[in-house]
Structure 1
C-alpha cells in the first residue's frame, strides 16, 4: 500500500485503481523529483573536474620548468667548480690570441703552455669575464655540463664543414706552406 498518500489509499479501497498502477505512478513521481537534480549536478561536477585537471596540468608544466631551470643552474655550478679546481696556472710573456664572443682575446702564456694549447691538450674556458686554461679531461667534463663555457678547443673543432668540402679545401691548401712557429 502507499504510505502517506490518503487519496491513493481511498482509490485503492474503492477499487478504482490497482495496486501495481499505484506503485508505477509512485516510481515515476520519484524519478521525476530526483532525476533532474543529478544531471545538472554532474554538469557542474564535470566543469569543476575539467578546471581541476587544467590547473593540475599548469602546475605540472610550471614544476617541470622550475626543475629544468634548477638543473641548468646546478650543471653551471658544477662546471664552475670543475674550472676552479682544475685550472692550470698561467705564467709567461708570450701572447696567445684567440677569438671569443666575436672579439680577439689575449692570454699570456709560456712556450710549454702555448704548445699544449695548440696541440689540444689544454682548452680555454670562460668563467664570468675571465679565461682559464684547463686540461682536456676537465674541459670535456665542463663541456658535458655547459658547452658554452668552453671558448677554445683545438682538439675538437666545433661546427666543422661537411667532409667533402673539407677534403677539397685540404687538397687546395696543401700547396701552401704555413710555418709551425706562426703566432698571430
Structure 2
C-alpha cells in the first residue's frame, strides 16, 4: 500500500498527529476563505500564471526542436536520393592524358580525362559532381536536377552564355576566347 506523505512523515517521527491535524485544518480554512472571497489569492494566481507561461515556453521550444529534427531528417533523405541518382547516372571515366582543371572549395583540382570527355565538360554536356570525396562525371540533365535540390554538390557545370551579353563598345568583341583554353 502506498502511504501518503503525511503518514510517511509521522512514521519517521518528523511530524506528530497533532501537528499534522493542525496543518490539514489550516489548509482547509485557507481554501474556504479563498472560495468565499475573504482571502486575497493574487499570489496563487500569479504562481499559476507563471507556471502556465513556463509550460507554453517549453512547448514552443519542444516544437522548434522537433521541427529542426524533421528538417535534418528530410535533408539526409534528400542527400541519399541525390547520392543514389549520381551513382545510377554517372559516366564511366575514360582515363586520358588531358587534364581538366576545376575548383573545389577554393582549391584547383585536376582530373585526367579523354579528349572527348574534356570537350563535353567544356561545352556543358557533362558535369562534375562531388560525392563522398570522389569526383563523378554525370550528364547535364542529371546535373540540372541535382542543382535544383542541392547546388553545392555540382562543382562544374558549364552553360553557354547568351550572345546578347556582349558589350557593343568592347574593342575585343570580335576576338573569341575558347572555353577549353589550355596553358
TM-score for both structures, normalised by structure 2: 0.68
Map residues 22-101 of structure 1 onto 2, 5 A cutoff.
Answer: 34-35=36-37, 36=39, 39-93=42-96, 94-101=98-105
How far is 1:180 from its partner? 6.8
Listed one character per residue, the Cα deviations across residues 19-42 of structure 1 (whole Å, up to 9, x for unaligned) are: xxxxxxxxxxx8776213654433
Aligned residue pairs, count: 148
Paired position in structure 1 for 2:177: 178
Structure 2 stretches lacking a partner, 5+ long: 1-31
RMSD over aligned CA atoms reads: 2.8
For residue 156 of structure 1, report the CA deviation from its aligned partner. 7.2
Map 1:104-183 to 2 at 5 A.
Answer: 104-155=108-159, 167-168=166-167, 171-178=170-177, 182-183=181-182
User: Which residue number corresponds to residue 27 of structure 1?
Assistant: none
Instruction: Please give the per-residue CA displacement for 1:38-73, whole angstroms capped at 9, x wherever unaligned.
Output: 544332221111111010011011111111222222
- The structure with the largest alpha-carbon Rg is 1
Distance 1:153 1:37, change over 3 A: same
Give the TM-score, by structure 1 length.
Answer: 0.68
Instruction: Report the Cα offset of residue 183 of structure 1.
Output: 2.5
Cα separation, partners in 2 of 1:71 and 1:105, compared to 1, 3 Å: same
The whole-number CA distance in structure 1 between the counterparts of 2:60 and 2:76 is 24
1:79–1:141 Cα contact (<8 Å) kept: no
Q: Distance in 2 between matches of 1:61 and 1:102?
A: 35
The structural deviation recorded for 1:95 is: 1.6
Stretches of 4+ moved more than 6 A in 1?
Answer: 30-33
C-alpha spacing 1:181/1:80, structure 2 compared with 1 (3 Å): closer
SS at match of 2:170: helix
Which is helix-richer, 1 or 2? 1
Tell me, in whole angstroms, the C-alpha distance in 2 between the residues paired with 1:37 and 1:139: 71
| 1:105-143 C-alpha deviation (Å, 9 max, x unpaired) | 111222221221111111110112211111111112222
